[in-house]
Amino acid sequence: MRHAPIDPALFIANRRRLVQQVPPGSVAILHASDILPTNGDGTLRMHPASDLFWASGIEQEESVLVLAPSASDPACREILFVRQPSDHLATWEGDKLTKERAMQVSGITRIRWTADLPAVLHHLLCECSAVYLNANEHERAVIEVENRDARMARQLVARYPLHRFERLAPILRRLRAVKTPAEVALIRRAADVTKAGLDRLIAALRPGVMEHELEAELAAEFIRRRARMAYEPIIGSGRNACVLHYVDNDQPCAAGELVLVDAGASYANYCSDLTRTYPVNGRFTPRQRAVYDAVLRVLKSSIARAKVGTTLRGWKRAAQVEMAAELVGLGLLTPEQAAQDTPDEPACKRYFMHGLGHSLGLGVHDLAPLDGPLESGWVLTVEPGIYIPEEGLAVRLENDVLITENGPVDLTSHVPIEPDEIERLMARPANDGRV
């Protein structure tokens, strides 16, 4: 656990929200992530299961949370199962959670070893009539490997065929979309780390610097501040920035080009997601400035439109209409082409072809209802862009916004974005890689 300890009140409150959605006579089960293999005997670093972390704060492999809110034995209504420590594990993998430590992290008073799970679960299932099992139901997920949730689902259905099995994912999708103040504070901290990394990157940006050298500046600052990359960063100079998911980051940044930086820190598993576009030699050309200002206007108006009750489709559509007018002003569309704009065939699609934003939290593309409507407590990205491959020019700008009853709150408003401010920052002398 690289991050500072988190008050378990966050996880206690999240579990309370969850059990209120689980009907009497039900058991809900949440699993840790698998440790995935690479080649030979290698493995990837385990990425904590977001749902289990949201409900317990636990980041250790083979952990299982079982919630049975109407169990006859009050001690069985909330049980966390963790891997039993041993001298062998301590030698090869380091310390594992003791029962006392697991209790401190999660706020759960009933801790059992994972080896006890089958017997305890059988006892609970003999009492209950429904079992709520989890699955990765993200609409963009690519599922080719059976995970722990799926394996248990297959085993339980075979062993208890007369029980009713229900989906936990739709409940979690609704609950996790609305962030508590404690969660928002962690997202703010991730955004602060990202700002520090971007400050350091700006100080290192100059003609001839390699894209991966800029990535290294980000990584160094993120790690120094107890965070990690929330996703593979995109650092694309010139035409590379026109590739939406460019991650090679292996080309030089040339004078006269713009470099697009899409990166975010993850702190305590909560993510930030920002995009900035900088002039490599420190000043925008008139054409670059015109495109930049157009994107910035769409960003600002899209943030202003992110209000409680807004549907995501309607929100995106308003940005598409506005962007079409900006493209006319830039000479990229004719008024006649803009007039042919429809929801199915937006006029801006050639130059602005992606979504306007997404939910943000324990995932970069976090769980949330597909079309909203937006509720107070949502955190989402706002990320319009213009991509002109024939000019080797792209601008994308992205901020993270909290939805409140009193209007949107930009959690990243302190990250420089105004073009004049960016030019001033880039004019400062570098000081040991920082501004």
Active site residue 387: yes
Q: What is the sign, positive or negative, of the torsion defined by CA atoms of 207, 210, 214, 216?
A: negative
Task: For tokens 């995501």, name the residue.
Answer: 312
Query: One of 78, 217, 273, 322 is an active-site residue; which one?
Result: 273
Query: One of 163, 358, 375, 391 is an active-site residue; which one?
Result: 358
Active site residue 3: no
Active site residue 211: no
Helices vs. strands in the chain: H and E counts, helices first:
13, 17
Active site residue 262: yes
Q: What is the sign, positive or negative, of the torsion defined by CA atoms of 186, 215, 261, 416?
A: positive
C-alpha triplet 147, 149, 152: angle, nearest 5°: 105
Query: One of 215, 383, 400, 410 is an active-site residue; which one?
Result: 383
Tokens encoding 256: 């006269």
- Coil, helix or strand for 318? helix
Active site residue 215: no
Query: One of 15, 83, 189, 396 is an active-site residue; which one?
Result: 396
Cα 192–chain centre separation = 15
Active site residue 396: yes
Active site residue 273: yes
- Please name the residues in contact with 433: beta carbons below 8 A apart, sequence gap of 6 or more: 200, 203, 204, 217, 220
Query: One of 132, 246, 278, 387 is an active-site residue; which one?
Result: 387
- Give the pairing of strands 164-167 and 130-133: parallel
Query: One of 62, 192, 215, 398 is an active-site residue; which one?
Result: 398
Query: One of 245, 287, 424, 428 is an active-site residue; which one?
Result: 245
Active site residue 123: no
Q: Is the peptide bond before 373 cis (omega within 30 degrees of 0)?
A: yes
Query: One of 149, 262, 322, 326 is an active-site residue; which one?
Result: 262
Active site residue 245: yes
Query: One of 354, 375, 423, 434 is an active-site residue; which one?
Result: 354
Query: One of 225, 365, 366, 400 is an active-site residue; which one?
Result: 365
- Any idea which residues carry the catalytic annotation? 41, 245, 262, 273, 354, 358, 365, 383, 387, 396, 398
